[in-house]
Amino acid sequence: MKKITFLFCFLVASLGYSQVVLEDFESMYPAGDLNNFEGTSSASIVADPAPGGTNGNVLEIVSEASGNPWQGASMLLQSNFIDLTGPNPQVQLDIYSTSSFGMLVAAENPSGMAPRSAGDSDSNVDYVGGSGWQTITITLNQGLDGTTTANGDYELLAFFPGWNNATDGWVTGAPGVGTPNTIYIDNITGIAGAALGGPTCNDGMMNGMETGVDCGGPDCPACPAPPTMGAPAPPSRDAADVLSLYSGAYANTTIETYDAGFCGFGGSTEVDIAGNPTYLYSGVPCIGWEFTNNRIDASSFSHIHFDFYTDDPDLTGKVFNVKFSDWAGGSMENSALEINVNAGTTPGIVTGAWVSVDLEINFTNPIFAGSPTRSDLAQFVITSNLSNAWYDNVYFHRNLLGTEDLTTSEFKAFPNPTQNSWNITSNNIIKTVAVYDVLGKQVFALKPSATEVEVDGSTLSQGLYFARIEGENGSETVKLIKE
């Protein structure tokens, strides 16, 4: 009886740790959870290409000769992590191609809770092209490509088809010299780890059914749209009263690079917004402009200006910090003039509207940090954890506008009447909006520092209200009707 009980328990334990198919691509796989990199031209879900193939949907990875040797593609598992603990952390794949190739497989956890690990075929034999679908097993305890033994639950698997299994190295070692091939992967099998859970609308990644980072799809809030209009046009100023780094309204100083790569290259890209050249900041913790050979002296300018826009739906903990680096005649930063903007500052970060930051350089204002010194500026740096930020009109000025240069502010409120909220727009920056009831009591106030603002009236009773709107070049009181 003891032997039977022991055998039964052993079988139950074995079943609990048996391998299962973690991904067969038969259910709708989110395109945002596939990523091709380093020159791979595509990673997509296609029908089984093998003659008479019965595998249904499979993963196709197309590598190119012009890509890097380490080009490849990655995918996120959908239902469960893969458990790669224990002495034999294994993953099993079905693979197919018309060409022979070796492949490196890496397991990663984007949250950093498990070490990156990579391995290749246990048999160290390349797949033989044209031999039909084959099943290979990878044990992730080899520490290949500078990794370590897998130990934990993993959500992401990456595939590198330019690997030589026999030599444990890349087929070609030179950057820009890849191995062209088209390979297919199916039936990713392993020990199921913890369930991946529900929607991931706050992890800073585009995954699941999302159509953007933490937004879109059936589970997350809708993604705000990028700007359809350019930043507000700066006012006309005398050339002597402006020192512009980047603006279509003024003559700009010479910038040697708009992508200095302080936190990685590619994070600063010029784009067109409704015919207006604008820079997009995305994908890196910081970006920098350099003008070390054309330094600027802004000490005689009293004000600083820049416009920015973000489509991030969640602004919790988000910042948009600007720094002007002063080198004091030397070869490195000596001090820095900083403006630190967040959801609680004035002006602050808002979603879906241009924010115009136009400030007198006055260190009694808590938005400033560092040093007011600006006589030998050599770099402009933005540090932000926003997913996307568009920015324009970066300049210093003396805030001198003649009466002939003033543009009177015009305001519009719509829909009016409304049952929920009003949109207020202006041709100039709206500094404050104060809403009063018919008894003259202020019911709420806003400081948008933008050319448009939404006034939420959903909590107000039906009736007549008055909005006192103050802009940079004028003010007006408008009637608001709540139905």
Phi then psi for residue 313, to 5 deg, are: -80, -25
Q: What is the mean pLDDT of residues 234-251?
A: 93
Mean pLDDT of 278-293: 92
- CA atoms of 442 and 468, how far apart (whole Å): 10
Q: The whole model's pTM is what? A: 0.46
Query: Band of the pLDDT at 353, cuts 50, 70, 90?
Result: confident
Q: Which of 204-213, 271-280, 366-375 has the lowest mean pLDDT?
A: 204-213
Question: Would you state the structure tokens that stand for residue 291, as one six-digit string?
Answer: 């003008």
Lowest mean pLDDT across 42-51, 107-116, 251-260 = 107-116
Is the model more confident about 407 or about 177? Answer: 177
Q: Which stretch, 93-102, 348-357, 386-395, has highest mean pLDDT? A: 386-395
The pLDDT value recorded for residue 204 is 61
CA distance 121 to 464: 74
Average pLDDT score, the chain: 83
pLDDT the model gives residue 13: 39
pLDDT at 7 over 60: no
**pLDDT at residue 202, as a whole number:** 66
Are residues 341 and 385 in contact, defined by beta-carbon separation less than 8 angstroms? no
> From its phi and psi, is residue 440 left (phi > 0), alpha (psi between -120 and 50) or beta?
left
Give the pair of three-digit tokens for residue 315.
């602004």
Specify the pLDDT at position 138: 87
The full set of domains in the chain, from first to last, is 20-195 (2.60.120.260), 239-397 (2.60.120.430), 407-482 (2.60.40.1930)
Determine the pLDDT at residue 292: 94
Distance between CA atoms of residues 481 and 463, nearest Å = 6
Tell the residue number behind the tokens 């020159």, with chain if given.
39
Region of residue 404 (left: phi > 0; alpha: psi -120 to 50; beta: else): alpha
CB atoms within 10 A of CB 3: 7
Mean pLDDT (whole number) for 272-289: 91
Which range of 96-100, 321-325, 420-424 scores highest in mean pLDDT? It is: 321-325
What is the Cα 435 distance to its own chain's centre?
A: 36
Distances (CA, A) of 435 to 345, 401, 427: 21, 30, 20
Burial class of residue 111, CB neighbours in 10 A (0-12, 13-18, 19+): exposed
Q: Is the pLDDT of residue 217 over 80?
A: no
Query: Which residue, chain included where needed, has tokens 């091709």?
Result: 36
**pLDDT band at residue 213 under the 50/70/90 scheme:** low
Where is pLDDT greater, at 353 or 197? Answer: 353
| Alpha-carbon gap, residue 274 to 322, rounded angstroms | 25
The 10s digit of each residue's pLDDT in 382-440 is 999 998 899 999 999 998 754 344 445 677 888 888 888 888 888 888 888 888 776 55
* C-alpha distance from residue 298 to each of 221, 257, 462 (Å): 43, 19, 52
For 403, the 3-state DSSP assignment is: helix
Q: Which pLDDT tens digit goes with each residue over 10-68? A: 333 343 457 899 889 998 887 778 888 888 888 889 999 999 889 999 999 999 988 88
- Summarize the confidence of residues 162-185 as an average pLDDT: 84
- What sign does the CA torsion over 236, 241, 246, 250 have? positive
Sequential DSSP letters for 90-128: EEEEEEE-SS-BEEEEEEE-TTSSS--EEE-BTT--PBP
